[in-house]
Amino acid sequence: MKYRRLTKEQLEALHQEFINFLATQSITGDEWQMIKTNRPSEAEAELDVFSDLIWEGVLQKVNYLENISSQQMHLFQCLEKEMKLISVKVMNPEIDLQTKIGFEWFKKNWQSDFVEYLIAAKAYSDDKHLDIFKLIEQGASITKGDLYQWFDNVIG
């Protein structure tokens, strides 16, 4: 398995897609029930293959990621050959960027001495999608890139 198995909730949300996946392998609903009951390791393998296919499809479409913690923002732009990063660090320990009040403070004070910026770029390893997946597993969210683009315009 290249990525990780989808959660039960994700699999339930993708129920129809999973049925279609099984159909492409000529597995009927009755056969699937029999496989789950009599050959659980085969059923697990099918879930793993399906999960990887879904992750691959999602990761191909990722253009921006955000990982926001209480004191830092890591904003990523995923390009073809490299990933660009805008890192924002708030030096005021009383500010929590994950709260509405903290983010409002930041919007007013983004140019103050209490905020540091770092801009970087890094080439992907041999597997671009796995690099992106690892960031998601570390807490990054897929976004439309509004925050990245705003920063890119004002500090880039």
Question: Model confidence over 18-28: pLDDT tens digits?
Answer: 999 999 989 99
Mean pLDDT over residues 97-119, rounded? Answer: 92
Mean pLDDT over residues 82-107, rounded? Answer: 94
Residue 73 backbone phi and psi in degrees, to 5: -125, 130
**Position 47 in a domain:** yes
The average confidence (pLDDT) of the chain is: 94
**Position 2 in a domain:** no
pLDDT-based confidence at residue 62 (cuts at 50, 70, 90)? very high
Q: Are 104 and 34 in a shared domain?
A: no
Domain range holding 21? 8-60
Q: Which residues pair with 142 in a beta bridge?
A: 65
Q: Are 48 and 68 in a shared domain?
A: no
Tell me the C-alpha distance between 69 and 91, whole Å.
13
pLDDT at 156 over 80: no
pLDDT at 155 over 80: no
**Position 100 in a domain:** yes
